[in-house]
Amino acid sequence: MATDPYALFDQWFGEARASERNESEAMAVATAGADQRPSVRMVLLKAHGPEGFTFYTHEGSAKGDNLRQNPQAALLFHWKSLFRQVRIEGPVERVSDAEADAYFATRGRDSQLGAWASDQSRPLDSRATFEQRFEEAKRRFEGRDVPRPATWGGYRVVPDRIEFWTAREHRLHERRLFTRDADRWVEGLLYP
């Protein structure tokens, strides 16, 4: 058995990148706000390592609101071609502005402009309104770099639980659970 869940994740993620036809970095993010109502959606993993698992979004989105009220999240990677999934749970912290700026600068220009045009998760009266706002953002930043909006940033899930699930015949699956105990990881097995 491995004792470093990050090394095991790196191995599995590398294999998923080689075998998954569509976005191996796609993960479900589950949050719950003060009302404790769960909410889940797909996002893309943008960084990972011993410091945690990072994604970016509009901070006024439903997930941003939930994370402000209850800074805990669960992540799920499902790599169907490998018959594997990884579940991650833990507290969430915002990434630094410098980190968010650096990542935002790597996005395509239209994606950057879309971040300015969108009030993510808020009611929209028509697609035409969003397209108009996008065109306004294009004019506003014509001929210059698009800065990161103050309402757009990153979140890092700092795991205290990481589960590695492997499908086996007859539903006799393998489940390996790593739990954080102070500054070390403890590994155990779960019944399928």
What are the residue numbers of the active site? 171
168: how many CB neighbours lie within 10 A of its CB? 11
Which is it for the CA torsion 164, 166, 171, 174, positive or negative?
Answer: negative
Beta strands in 34-130 (DSSP E): 38-44, 47-49, 52-58, 72-79, 84-94
Which is it for the CA torsion 172, 90, 39, 35, positive or negative?
Answer: positive
